[in-house]
Amino acid sequence: MCLGVPMKVLSKEGDNIIAEVDGVQKEANITLLGEEVAVGDYVIVHAGFAISRLDEVYAEETLRLMREIFSDEDMV
């Protein structure tokens, strides 16, 4: 199963970001978003692309629910 996972943006250079969730960092491209993304924002990352920007409260709640449902191996 493939899921887009909420991740916090750690750095941004041009159209590329480094985002993190639970200590796992991924590089992603933000060109599909069509809106500005800043360090500290939360985005849904899927297949190397940020596909949506999320409110922090919504992102944290989504991650909390995902942690309840999935094992650690499923989240990476």
pLDDT, tens digit, for every residue of 5-59?
899 999 999 999 999 999 999 999 999 998 999 999 999 999 999 999 999 999 9
Query: What confidence score (pLDDT) does residue 34 get?
Result: 87
Task: Give the other-Cβ count within 10 Å of 26's Cβ.
Answer: 16
Q: Which domain holds residue 24?
A: 5-75
CATH number, domain with residue 39: 2.30.30.140
Query: What confidence score (pLDDT) does residue 4 get?
Result: 82
Q: Which of 35, 58, 43 is nearest to 27 (CA)?
A: 43
Distance CA 32, CA 9 (A): 16
Residue 73 has pLDDT above 70, yes or no: no
pLDDT band at residue 74 under the 50/70/90 scheme: low
Query: What confidence score (pLDDT) does residue 72 get?
Result: 61
Number of domains, the chain: 1
Q: Which of 74, 68, 59, 67 is nearest to 8 (CA)?
A: 59
